[in-house]
Structure 1
Amino acid sequence: MKIVLQILCFFSVLVASGQTNDSINTPKIWSLEDCINYAIANNITVKDADLVKNIAEVDYDKTKSSRLPNLFGSASESFSNGNTVDPITSDYVTDQIYSTNLGISSAMTLYQGSQISNQIKQSKLLVDQNSFLVEEAKNDIIISILENYLQLLYSKEGITIAENNLKASETEVARAKARLEAGSIALNDYTEAQSQAATNKYAVITAKNDYQQYIIALKQLLELTPEDTLEVEVIDDNIQLINLEMDKMNIYHKALNILPEMSASDLDIAINEKELDVAKGAYLPTLSLVGSVGSGYTSISNIDFTRQLDINFNQSIGLSLSVPIFNRNITKSAVKTAELNIERSQIQKQSTEKEIYKKVETAYQNALSAQEQIIAAEASQEAALQSYNLAKIKYELGELSTTDLIINQNTYTAAQQNYIQAKYLNILYHQLLQFYQGNDIKL
């Protein structure tokens, strides 16, 4: 009985191990949502934008701390010989002097033309702007993932079409060979069939190579290693056509309100306006509160070190006022530069608005074009299929030449390629229009 139990345990371990290996060897099927979420979390472009935002937050904390007083400690040891002034007692003596100075000093800016307040506000605006730039980087990655994902699916369907054509042409070669041996066709017809089969085989190789290139591009967006496998999920073939009543200007205005690059442009203007306030603040005086405590020791005194430190202990507090009179036009240049940067940021905002309109307009027009193309391509594909099927029947009956059969096959292949191209373009531009309206990308 013990031996039987041991055997059962051994086989159960083998079964469990086999199941584990199967689960490990089973490649993950990536949906579009999987790709988007993974890329947002791992893409280095997004990470870099996030790090820039973190740096802006550090600068913001540093700017807020500029309101606080500073604190410095100092200590010095000196030796002098001959006619000199004692650094501790300020007596004029002729002697060798060993002296020690200890002190702590502090200063706090009370007023600086509101520069500190404006710098803090500017730093906060920079943090907010970089938050929007992070969102912009994420949006760019989302669109890149969508485009590469659809290109990958398009290429995958292209492989299927090419392989089906190769199988059909190989069948035609076999039939042509049989008919050649039977003497019903000329040698030229047989070699044309062989040539078409070779062309279709080359098309399969090209389609597979294109597919691998899109795999590489998508893996790089996902920051996967070369050793990682990538298999994407096939989407539903149901095509959602674009609503012809959709107003592109409504889409454009929605995009202006939700896209982060517009918010970043607005903040860029506000940041430069604060920079102007900071620059103008340099025209005004600076008032600071200063204070210090210290003590010292001198060797010419007969009092011991500890008692001297107690006797010589001193404190001071005061106000320091600095009034700018002439700084070689540095402030004037800073003010002018800030004003020019405000104008430049306003122009850049207009450029951003134009770029967004161009994206919406392009997506809208391409979406309508793709919708019309897919309707025409579907009808063309169906007609080409019927023509090709009829040509194959005629070819088998000897009523059609190999050349005419190849022409019909190529026409059908082109119709298939046109259809899948229109299909994926329709999906792409429909999703882009949804994205510009603030809707999630879903396939």
Structure 2
Amino acid sequence: MKKLTVALIALLVGNLAQAQQILTLKDAVNFALENKAEAIKAKLDVKNSEFMIDEVRASALPQISANGGLTYNAILQETALDFGGQTQIIKMGRPWQSTASLSLNQQIFNQAVFTGLKAAKSTREFYQINAKLTDEQVIEKVASTYYELYKTKSQIETLDITIENTTRVRDVIQSLYNSGLAKKIDLDRMNVSLNNVISGKQQLVNVLELQENSLKYLIGMDIKNEIELPENTFEITSVAFAENANTGLNRTEIALLEKQGELLELNLKATKAQGYPTLGLNANYGYLGIGEKMPWFRHYPSAYWSDYASIGLNLSIPIFNGGVNRARIKQAKVDIERFNADVNDAKLGLNLEFENAKAQITNSLITLNTQKENVQLAKQVLENVENNYKNGLATLTDLLEAETSYSDAQNNQTNALLDYKLAEVQLIKAKGELDTLTK
């Protein structure tokens, strides 16, 4: 029984340890890339593009088909023939007719088919780039949500410190009140302040739970899973700083636009190819059976069977279709011109995004350093005011204001750190290096 009890306790502890999952930003991002619907569907699009290539390639391969037919001529057609000045009425054919044949068709020259094959391969590359862009969008969303979650967690930790300090001061005032050295109103005001802080913490705890559920949904994790953020998530790194980054060259958006332009060019070529001649090979081989009765077999009585074969070339030369193809070509050219305008605008937007991200990261770092200094100053002021209050040199209002200032300074530092990390994500995105968050 003792061994069984120890084993059950060990199993229970192990399950509890597994239930609480430590989730780093890297883990969250990689989990999302494997489980989130957007990332999964983007990968399936890449897989489906292979089948699209197979479909286009099949149109350039030989097309072989088998055909069979059975016809009963209920009333045979009659015709009149002149034999030596006498007209003879004869019936054409037999009541039953059966055919079985094989046919082959092969494209020898069809520019539209060949261009379509190139377009299918470019489409596969387009989906590959689009899948990468989708992954980057998922990474950006996960990182932003993750840092928002950590901000709330840090604010709760700040309130825990505030509650601890306020409780300590309240206990001091309680002791002074018990000794007749403090007023009851001072004690009541401290209790009200403490209760407000505790209430504020509970509200943040509720917000934290909602944010955790949102993060789990965003990465495709079961909502019932318990997660815990590590302590060292918020830190200033040098990965974001890059004054001389080649913005635009590494952006997936640019690669995707370039591939779209290539597809539009191929569409123009395919449209032009509709006016080119086409050449194809066809071949047929089959059996024809006719008779008074149903001709099931070659040697069936009263049935006559004969085989036939043919080989030919089909040449089609478009001459005039009313100008339809010419109009389509002009439309394709206009589409390319419109696309080029979009590309130029997109490049300007990406350059703007990069410059803004650099400015934001610089301003966020300045603000963060300022808030760090404010926290140190607010802490010193609180300590001085607390000592003065104990010695009767400061009022309770001064003490409460000092505590509020210290708490606000800590929250402002947390907010500044979050702003910095969000700006860091945007700069990494502007540099085209969001995949570094997965490593």
TM superposition score category, shorter chain reference: 0.7 to 0.9
Q: CA deviation at 1:97?
A: 0.7
Aligned to 1:423: 417
The 5 Å alignment of 1:151-190 reads 151-177=148-174, 179=176, 184-186=181-183, 188-190=185-187
Aligned to 1:269: 261
| Alpha-carbon contact 1:39-1:223 (below 8 Å) kept | yes
Distance 1:128 1:349 in 2: 18
Q: CA deviation at 1:201?
A: 1.9
| Counterpart selection for 2:95 from 88, 93, 97 | 97
Aligned to 1:278: 270
| Alpha-carbon contact 1:68-1:108 (below 8 Å) kept | yes
Aligned to 2:84: none
Q: CA deviation at 1:330?
A: 3.7
Q: CA deviation at 1:79?
A: 1.6
| Alpha-carbon contact 1:431-1:442 (below 8 Å) kept | no
Query: What are structure 2's unaligned runs of at least 5 residues?
Result: 80-88
Q: CA deviation at 1:290?
A: 1.3
**Secondary structure of 2:248's match?**
helix
The 1:356/1:13 distance shift into structure 2, 3 A limit, reads farther
Aligned to 1:64: 57
Identity of aligned residues (%): 17
Distance 2:240 2:48 in 1: 44
The 5 Å alignment of 1:28-427 reads 28-84=21-77, 93=91, 97-112=95-110, 114-177=111-174, 179=176, 184-186=181-183, 188-235=185-232, 239-240=236-237, 246-247=242-243, 250-251=244-245, 253=246, 255-300=247-292, 305-307=297-299, 311-327=305-321, 329-427=323-421
| Alpha-carbon contact 1:82-1:96 (below 8 Å) kept | no
Using the size of structure 1 for normalisation, the TM-score is 0.86
Provide, for residues 234-289 of structure 1, a one-character-per-residue CA deviation record: whole Å limited to 9, x for no partner: 21665346898x42xx32x2x42222221111111011000000000111222211
Aligned to 2:16: 25
Q: CA deviation at 1:406?
A: 1.4
The 1:324/1:201 distance shift into structure 2, 3 A limit, reads same
Distance 1:73 1:242 in 2: 65
Distance 1:385 1:320 in 2: 91
Distance 2:309 2:78 in 1: 21
Tell whether 2:17 aligns with 1:15: no
The 1:302/1:389 distance shift into structure 2, 3 A limit, reads closer
| Alpha-carbon contact 2:156-2:201 (below 8 Å) kept | yes
Q: CA deviation at 1:134?
A: 0.8
Q: CA deviation at 1:173?
A: 4.0
**More deviation in 188-197 or 388-397?**
188-197
**Counterpart amino acid of residue 437 in structure 2:** I
Distance 1:58 1:49 in 2: 15
Distance 2:240 2:65 in 1: 70
| Alpha-carbon contact 2:56-2:117 (below 8 Å) kept | yes
Q: CA deviation at 1:195?
A: 2.8
Distance 2:295 2:23 in 1: 84
Cα RMSD, aligned residues only: 2.9
**Secondary structure of 2:436's match?**
coil
| Alpha-carbon contact 2:289-2:295 (below 8 Å) kept | no
Distance 1:116 1:243 in 2: 48
The 1:143/1:237 distance shift into structure 2, 3 A limit, reads closer
The 1:432/1:310 distance shift into structure 2, 3 A limit, reads farther
**More deviation in 54-63 or 324-333?**
324-333
Distance 2:75 2:240 in 1: 99
**More deviation in 319-328 or 372-381?**
319-328
Distance 1:408 1:224 in 2: 43
**Secondary structure of 2:100's match?**
strand
| Alpha-carbon contact 1:242-1:367 (below 8 Å) kept | no
Distance 1:229 1:351 in 2: 45
**Secondary structure of 2:289's match?**
strand
**Secondary structure of 1:293's match?**
strand
**Counterpart amino acid of residue 436 in structure 2:** D
| Counterpart selection for 2:436 from 419, 437, 440 | 440
Distance 1:367 1:304 in 2: 85
**Secondary structure of 1:393's match?**
helix
**Secondary structure of 1:295's match?**
strand
| Alpha-carbon contact 1:153-1:234 (below 8 Å) kept | no
**Counterpart amino acid of residue 18 in structure 1:** I
Provide, for residues 63-104 of structure 1, a one-character-per-residue CA deviation record: whole Å limited to 9, x for no partner: 112111211222222222234279xxxx96179712212222
**Secondary structure of 2:77's match?**
strand
| Alpha-carbon contact 1:32-1:233 (below 8 Å) kept | no
Using the size of structure 2 for normalisation, the TM-score is 0.87
| Alpha-carbon contact 1:431-1:441 (below 8 Å) kept | no
